Structure 1
Amino acid sequence: MDVTTNGSQQIRLKRATVPEIYRKAARILKSAEERKGSLKNLIYSSGFRDVKPLYALVAESCKHQSALDELINNTAGFQNVKPFDPHLARILITELIWGKGYLKPINARAIRIILELESDLRQALDSLNSQEENDSVQQISAPRYVRVNTLVSTTEKICNQLTGEGWKQVRSKKKSGYEGFIERVKGLGENEFILDFHLDFLLVFPSTAQFYNHNLLKSGAILLQDKASCLSAVALKSNPFYGKMIDACSAPGMKTSLLAALSNNQSSIIAIERDAKRCNTLRQTISNTHASKVTVQQADFLTLNPSDYQDVKYILVDPSCSGTGIISRLDSQRKSEEGANLELRLKRLSSLQSRLVEHAATFPSVERIVYSTCSIYEEENEAVVRQVLTKIGQSFQLEEALPWWPRRGTNRYDNPPDDVIGVKCVRAEAGKDLTNGFFIALFVRRI
């Protein structure tokens, strides 16, 4: 039983439990630190009924990991409340300072402790902000990307509704180009948004913009999807874009639903996912986005018999990777900790990645294969492309993906003058593009 004072009276409050979302988020942080899985997999396999706010909370906590560690270690009040779960402390502080701005119920012990320390925490944060200039990938503040689901609405209609709600649509100067656009995004006011420079279905908001409870999100008219994540589906697109497709590693389904939108629900898409829980999440995404021509299939892509899929023309391979390009990632210290283990991990990942692309090339009618990762490591990117070309180079050639994109791959795996890889591949960089780090390669069947 907790006691609070009101004047001369003491009021006894029945002790409450910390809400499930905070407890789940804390467990995910702990499991990720213990390397029990990637952040995304841990979130989607958590069993929590609504992964969107859970994902947002964990991602926000990861984004501010360095600041959170400083606050917890340097706020004197924490030294007097042990034992206290540090992962739960991170989540509660995140919600209080960078999330909703309040915590309930106040009679839950952990929440009460954080609220009692709120003044000290905010003072410590102000001091920290004045001392630090953060320029690492993990500390970049990415904007909020909102994808218009063109299966449900149009960019014009969504922009009109948002401006009616008080948002202001702005534009960058026409002659300033992509660099001018990036600078304009960095300077977005709290009520401003801008149409993306490259993708006419993507809107860009300040990082503080919240849409998790917006009716447009609930109806499937908009989705929260990083720009880099959209690029792989766009790279697969041909003109015209019609024919059966496979998304080989589909969950949670954002890229699959974009493929459906790019083909205007005119092409049949087979969404492959081997994990049962992630398969359920995938089905939920497909249903919510009104992607009516998508069939979800629980299977390992490597076990599919290509002869059973004679008419598949397009395959997207976006497999498991190190995830080192993701801005809101928990492993800001992991690179220095892994040491020799990193080399072994990358070797295992790249082996699987190569096998997946090579298997995709065995489908008899496939014309275009896109391989993508959210990794910054060459071992998972250009090195995989080089390895794959040694196996499928007689039938497929590497084609320049997204020619309008400014950032290309490394030339370290080129054999000039005729056999080049880097310039044909795409890289997105957090610091320069304000997206997650990403890599894309496009393989096209030789005629």
Structure 2
Amino acid sequence: MTALSEGSFCRDPLCPDTLVFSPQLHALLQHSSLTSTYALNTQDRSVCVAVSALRPLLFDNGDVLAVGSFSAVTVAHVAVAAADRSGRVLVCGADHTTSQIDEIQELLTQMDIKNVRVLSEAFSGLNEWDASVQRLKVIIVLPQCSSSALNDPVPTMHSEHGNWDLLPELCHSSVSRSKIHTMASQQARLLAHAVSFPKVQTVVYCTRSVYPEENEQLVKRVLDKTHTHPKLLPFRVNGPIFSDDSQSGDTTESKFFRLETSQFTNGCFIARLSRQVRERERERGGNMWRLMGK
């Protein structure tokens, strides 16, 4: 990626369905028939990496719920991944503005994507008894965050519906502790509710933040406070999180994945929370292993 010349592109080493273009080619592609017909879709790499981490965790005929703040392109990207396993994507309509829902539905129509269902409820109002979540196996949490891992926060905050109130502080390369605390509280509520669904086997949590308070500290704090029913397996942080055909480098050595910010790419943080497998269940073989999302 660092060696891309003016007219070149390459496959993303972390995302099998993603190409990385030089800045010059990227500008040209914005006005090409490839993008206008949705043969090629433009998205920030930090979001593509999150979808790539999600892909190998999906279940056949299982649903995935997208929670937080994200674009129509992100919904479409997750939907394409889910379609490969005959699954659906659920979106909580009450958590988004009318214009955002219209944007999602318009893009899905233009791309002929039919496996997305917009629920009328807010995520906080959903529970395990709702008929709409009976096939739910995976939740991806993409909360509003400090955007502190973005080189230039404006494009991604615009496309992914970020928090514009942070922009003055991001221009000075620092976000106040009070705002980080406020966002972390909101993020923790989303993650805590995500791990409360008994049929959910995996939760993927992703931010574009460099602050531990929004990332690993938050994940550990939520899990420490989560009370799991005695008949259910508890959630634990697990790795690796990428498919076998991605060049994930040394991600297997850490329970969390962090894409460092550089002049070539924006950064992000990803955690995969899966239900822990007890040793006696692990010995039963591959069927149980696959059932628990390993």
TM-based fold match above 0.5: yes
- The two structures, once aligned, show a CA RMSD in angstroms of 2.7
Asked if 2 retains the 8 angstrom alpha-carbon contact of 1:426 and 1:439, the reply is yes
The correspondence for 2:239, drawn from 395, 400, 411, is 400
Residue by residue over 1:50-88, the C-alpha shift from the partner in whole angstroms, topping out at 9 and shown as x without a partner, is xxxxxxxxxxxxxxxxxxxxxxxxxxxxxxxxxxxxxxx
- Identify if the C-alpha distance between structure 1 residues 392 and 405 changes in structure 2 by more than 3 Å, giving closer, same or farther: farther
* Aligned match of 2:105: 283
The correspondence for 1:386, drawn from 220, 236, 239, is 220
Deviation at 1:251, TM superposition (A): 3.4
The correspondence for 2:39, drawn from 212, 218, 221, is 221
The correspondence for 2:72, drawn from 249, 253, 272, is 253
Q: Distance in 2 between matches of 1:199 and 1:206?
A: 17
Q: Distance in 1 between matches of 2:141 and 2:225?
A: 17
The correspondence for 1:271, drawn from 71, 91, 98, is 91
Q: Please list, as runs of the form range in 1=range in 2, the aligned pairs for 1:22-33 lying within 5 A after superposition.
A: none
Residue by residue over 1:316-367, the C-alpha shift from the partner in whole angstroms, topping out at 9 and shown as x without a partner, is 100111111122225787258697x711111111111111011011122101
Task: Answer yes or no: is 1:198 the counterpart of 2:29.
Answer: no
Asked if 2 retains the 8 angstrom alpha-carbon contact of 1:426 and 1:441, the reply is yes
Q: Distance in 2 between matches of 1:361 and 1:234?
A: 21
Q: Distance in 2 between matches of 1:354 and 1:439?
A: 15
Per the normalisation by structure 2, the TM-score is: 0.75
Q: Distance in 2 between matches of 1:328 and 1:335?
A: 9
Deviation at 1:437, TM superposition (A): 1.1
- Identify if the C-alpha distance between structure 1 residues 213 and 379 changes in structure 2 by more than 3 Å, giving closer, same or farther: same
Q: Distance in 2 between matches of 1:187 and 1:337?
A: 30
Asked if 2 retains the 8 angstrom alpha-carbon contact of 1:276 and 1:298, the reply is no
Asked if 1 retains the 8 angstrom alpha-carbon contact of 2:239 and 2:272, the reply is yes
- Identify if the C-alpha distance between structure 1 residues 298 and 240 changes in structure 2 by more than 3 Å, giving closer, same or farther: closer
Asked if 2 retains the 8 angstrom alpha-carbon contact of 1:193 and 1:205, the reply is yes
Q: Distance in 1 between matches of 2:19 and 2:241?
A: 19
Q: Secondary structure at the match of 1:430?
A: coil
- Identify if the C-alpha distance between structure 1 residues 441 and 379 changes in structure 2 by more than 3 Å, giving closer, same or farther: same
Q: Distance in 2 between matches of 1:198 and 1:238?
A: 13
* Greater share of helix: 1
- Identify if the C-alpha distance between structure 1 residues 206 and 336 changes in structure 2 by more than 3 Å, giving closer, same or farther: closer
- Identify if the C-alpha distance between structure 1 residues 370 and 327 changes in structure 2 by more than 3 Å, giving closer, same or farther: same
Asked if 1 retains the 8 angstrom alpha-carbon contact of 2:64 and 2:137, the reply is yes
Q: Please list, as runs of the form range in 1=range in 2, the aligned pairs for 1:121-136 lying within 5 A after superposition.
A: none
Q: Which amino acid aligns with 2:71?
A: P
The correspondence for 2:254, drawn from 423, 426, 434, is 423
Gaps of 5+ in 1: 1-184, 410-421
Residue by residue over 1:251-301, the C-alpha shift from the partner in whole angstroms, topping out at 9 and shown as x without a partner, is 313332222222335211112242222222222232233321111235431
Name the % identity: 26
The correspondence for 2:184, drawn from 346, 350, 358, is 350
Asked if 1 retains the 8 angstrom alpha-carbon contact of 2:261 and 2:267, the reply is yes
The correspondence for 1:445, drawn from 254, 275, 284, is 275
Q: Distance in 2 between matches of 1:437 and 1:287?
A: 31
Structure of higher RCO (CA pairs closer than 8 Å, 6+ residues apart):
2
Q: Secondary structure at the match of 2:129?
A: helix
Asked if 2 retains the 8 angstrom alpha-carbon contact of 1:407 and 1:427, the reply is no
Q: Please list, as runs of the form range in 1=range in 2, the aligned pairs for 1:315-330 lying within 5 A after superposition.
A: 315-329=139-153
Asked if 2 retains the 8 angstrom alpha-carbon contact of 1:407 and 1:428, the reply is no
Q: Distance in 1 between matches of 2:183 and 2:98?
A: 21
- Identify if the C-alpha distance between structure 1 residues 443 and 240 changes in structure 2 by more than 3 Å, giving closer, same or farther: closer
* Aligned match of 1:166: none
Q: Secondary structure at the match of 2:148?
A: coil
Q: Which amino acid aligns with 1:257?
A: A
Asked if 2 retains the 8 angstrom alpha-carbon contact of 1:236 and 1:368, the reply is no
Q: Which amino acid aligns with 2:4?
A: L
Residue by residue over 1:187-233, the C-alpha shift from the partner in whole angstroms, topping out at 9 and shown as x without a partner, is 32222222222323211111122222221212221110122211222
* Aligned match of 2:283: none
Asked if 2 retains the 8 angstrom alpha-carbon contact of 1:313 and 1:365, the reply is yes
Task: Answer yes or no: is 1:310 the counterpart of 2:134.
Answer: yes
Asked if 1 retains the 8 angstrom alpha-carbon contact of 2:71 and 2:104, the reply is yes
Per the normalisation by structure 1, the TM-score is: 0.51
Asked if 2 retains the 8 angstrom alpha-carbon contact of 1:251 and 1:278, the reply is no
* Aligned match of 1:171: none
